[in-house]
Structure 1
Amino acid sequence: MTATTLGAVLTEAEKTLTDAGAWLPREDAEQLAAHVMGCTVAQLPLDAVPGAEDLARLRDLVAQRADRVPVEYLTGRAVLGGVEIAVGPGVFVPRKHTEPLLAWGLDVLHGVSRPLAVDLCTGSAAIALAVAHARPDSTVHAIELDPVALSWARRNVARQAELGDTPVALHAGDVTDPAMFAELDGTVDLLLANPPFVVDGVVLPPEWQEHQPWSALFGGQDGLVVIRAVVAAAVRLLRRGGGVAIEHDDEQAEVIMSLLREQGAFTDISYGVDHWGTPRYTTARRK
């Protein structure tokens, strides 16, 4: 009987995940295989025959992915801005969609010496840590309300500090509190936020609906409850010329630009697109 190669196993896994409705079946299968084999996707030995233990473990992970568990929960990691973030049940998974928002924010800080940045609704602390990694001269504050997400953020902040990055100042708190970070009023160079923005009652794909924390996803009857608080915080916290970027749904760009205009405090109000060309974040500068 011919032994099963890893390439054949991946083909089998790809079919399983395709049938289950996963939108990146081959990529997911390869990520899971690389996790099991302890290598990168590019290093996968497709002609090799996996050992029985590795094969059983990979097939178990594929079965869980077929149940639409996020692949990042299965590998325990996600990456944003070149920083590896530990993730698992109870914390929102950082997405590739956020990379352009991060890039915009880092561009705002270009030429600013010893910048002060704030990350609202930090979740795993991915955005805050990416800023601190890219700008070791920065001071970065991050805030999160959910205690489970906050425990993941603490873990990630501690790990990056051990690796030599500038430590992030992590806070437990509510972004909708009008006194949040009052001591920083008028001093912040950059405010970034990936807040909950999904309209209550919308049914999401299982990866979010069934597995990720609803508090990180749903933003009230119009999806804007937390976003309004972020806009108000930006008015108060940003220095003149400081920048704000808010991630949102692809249909919310116009309404968020309107919210920013209504404040009378911002200029250069615009939106940016993600890697799919979809409107994904709105930006502005403090007058």
Structure 2
Amino acid sequence: MASLSRTIGAPAPAAVTAVPTRRRRLLTVLALTAATGVALAGALVGTSPAHAADGDGWVRVGHLSPDTKAVDVTLTSLKGGQVVMDLDDVTYGQVSPYQALAAGTYVVAMTAADAPTSAKPVITANITVDSGQPITAVAYGPNDALKTQVFKDDLTAPADGQAKVRLVQAANVSKTVTVATSTGTTIAEDAPFGSASGYAQVAAGPWTLDLTGKKVTGTSDVDLAAGSINTLFVLDNSTGGLTVVPVVDSAATAQAPVGGVQTGGGYLAEHPQKSESKGLWATVLGWFGV
């Protein structure tokens, strides 16, 4: 992948202050952009899983289905049935911070928000957590054909002054998407729906990206901090076009996926025996009115 061509002068991402609650409530850290009419890039804020036990892996989950309304998400250990993650009112385009979990198999379930405990989940899937491996588990696609996918994350630090970036194509409005800079450098060509690209190392700084799908287009600005590792989620925008939403996977650190204020984490990272989530969610897209 060729280096990106930067557009200087893009706004820096906003930041918020962590506000712990009994159950994770979602805080919006993004600004509306005139180009797309949707919420775009913001810094992820929260504590990090610095005190994960040896042998743990890391998990985060995302809601990438545009016509699926808010859901409550649980992650339950297959062995013993303990709920180890419990998230409220997760809406389209939201990705949780990483949570440290013991290696093993877990069941992730999404249920309509505020539904009775007996309600049938809209989707369930088994995921495997491996020692030392961070993963991202997402639900994507239209509500009547929901799918799940697990992506392995590579949080090895980039070189000085560089950032790492990859693309996840989760836009329903086009089966394939090409992403390039405004100067024509291709980032991903005909990326298929539900796929993740490999990571590329690029110069840190602000960039403008052009998105092209089947009869749909979009433009997005991103700002990649030096030493950061980022996932660019390609999603539907509010007008039926395309947008890129950047999520900081990790900032410059020695232990993956530990980061500074730009990376997620949470109470359970340091207290994995608890069943309720007390850390901060970061909103990467916001409510689309679906």
TM-score, L = length of structure 2:
0.22
Q: Which has the larger radius of gyration?
A: 1
TM-score, L = length of structure 1:
0.22
Between Structure 1 and Structure 2, the one with more helix by share is 1
Q: Which has the higher contact order (CA 8 A, sep 6+)?
A: 2
